[in-house]
Amino acid sequence: MLSDYIGVAPKGDLLLLQKICKKLEGRTFLHVNSTREGGGVAEILHRMIPMLNELGVKTRWEVLEGDEKFYEITKKLHNALQGNAEEITGEMWQYHFEVNRRNLKRLDLEADAVLIHDPQPVPLIDFRKNGKWIWRCHIDVANPDKEVCDYLKKYCEKYDAAVFSVAKFAKAMPIDEFIIPPSIDPLSEKNRELTKEEIDETIERLRIPVDRPIVLQVSRFDRFKDPIGVIEAYRIVKRYNDCILILAGSPATDDPEGEAVLAEVREHAASDPDIHVLLLPPFSDKDINALQRIADVILQKSLKEGFGLTVSEAMWKGKPIIGGATGGIPLQIVHGVTGFLVHSVEGAAFRIRQILTNPAMAKRMGVEGKEYIRNNFLITRQIRDYLSVWYSLENKGKSMLEL
């Protein structure tokens, strides 16, 4: 497992993983979340569990089981933490706790370190047996519903530490709070190297012309991703540079506005044969990978964004990127070095033109960007950080740890 990443991830990350695992050899590490399949958390756990076991840390993954009512409540919790107005009644909080308590019959919470992912299993802290307990929040909690946030804080403060994805998500709490950004897996279907035949197959099936430069945005059809703004920017560019625009995304099943936005985008793109609006089925990872690899410039012109890992995915393909200066995007784009941060349609258009007319600069940005992602946003770095947090909790008070 670890050896699969040799030559892909930075050697330092792999070495550190090995060395910390040596220190923690034979110790037990438990992860608890609420789903075995789907989503970024499950994706990283599928990779991490066998890797850590191979390196001598006895790592397990338990999944909390709930019913429909429980998931309706936790969906509301999720939305409230992201800033939507939701009412969580006392009875709902009680049910949330009850489901966690019921799970005790089937969950073995005995471990030297326990990492609880997201709000669904957060009450398990009340049944802590031993070890270091860490709460990992994967959600954008920059502007949460205060009442919901305050209630969850009561659980959080019983943990030894909390982990957030971005510094601005952290709250004032009397426990250690670590910042671990999310990551991409360079070996997954969405990011692995593709053969020319694989890329050609996608191009042919999706009928993408490759006779002119390609401008691409991959994202859900959501107003916050500003697909209309992307079309407007493309129209400005088109006056100077002949190019093709691809807007590719999967339908957002949990977003009732998704269809309306898609219809709006189609209407806006109407009659321009050089705009390709691709509604890809879920799990079109290989196609997205191929589209990113044939693009000349990739956009993530979001108006609001959680972390925006599509930026890292694009940069991993060695492409210059233009991103809206919002959410986690500025953490991934070093402005002027690995791509450009923009604040308007006009800004996006100007930067697209700049990249299309300066192939040498575009190439340099692509190379720098890929290296930046390699050093900062690969899954091996995230696993390394989890172990470092555990190790630092065992060496509390030290700001420098020598291995």
Partner 1 sequence: MEESEATESTKSMEATEEVSKAFEFRQCVSILKSTGKKAKSLRELRDILSTSSDACIFHHTYQYFLKGHILEYTNDFAHWAGESLEERALSEQLSNLDPYDFKEMSGVRNNLLKIIDNYLKSFPEPREAIHGDEFYFNESIIVVFPVGVRVENLAQFLIAIKYVDSGCIYYHFYEARYRLGSGFDDFSLWIEQVLGKHELVEKLKAIDPFMHSIEGIREHIVDAVEAEVRKEMEVIQ
Q: Which residues bind partner 1 (CB under 8 A)?
A: 10-13, 15-16, 19-20, 142, 164, 167-168, 170-173, 176-180, 326, 334-338, 372, 375-376, 384-385, 388-389, 391-392, 398-403
Instruction: State how far the alpha carbon of 102 is from the alpha carbons of 34, 93, 198, in Å.
Output: 14, 14, 48
| Closest distance of CB 72 from partner 1, Å | 30
* 161, 143 Cβ separation under 8 angstroms: no
Closer of 271 and 399 to partner 1 (Cβ): 399
* Distance separating alpha carbons of residues 308 and 329, to the nearest angstrom: 6
Listed in sequence order, the DSSP H helices in 270-344 are 285-294, 309-316, 329-332
In the bound complex, what is the minimum distance in angstroms from residue 340's beta carbon to partner 1? 12
Q: Sheet with 275-279: list strands edge to edge.
A: 275-279, 244-249, 214-218, 297-300, 321-324, 339-342
Q: Smallest distance, Å, CB 252 to partner 1?
A: 23
Q: Of the two residues 142 and 252, which places its CB atom closer to partner 1 in the complex?
A: 142
Nearer to partner 1, 169 or 221 (CB): 169
**Running DSSP on this structure, what letter comes out for residue 257?**
T
Q: Which is nearer to partner 1, 179 or 260 (CB)?
A: 179
Distance CA(53)–CA(184), nearest Å, equals 21
Judged by beta carbon, residue 161 or residue 214, the one nearer partner 1 is 161
Q: Which is nearer to partner 1, 70 or 159 (CB)?
A: 159
Q: Which residues pair with 321 in a beta bridge?
A: 298, 339
Report the C-alpha gap between 181 and 378 in whole angstroms. Answer: 10
CB of 334 to partner 1, least distance (A): 5
Residue 182 in contact with residue 165, Cβ under 8 Å? Answer: yes
Smallest distance, partner 1 to C-beta of residue 381, A: 8
Could you tell me the smallest distance in angstroms from the CB atom of residue 378 to partner 1?
13
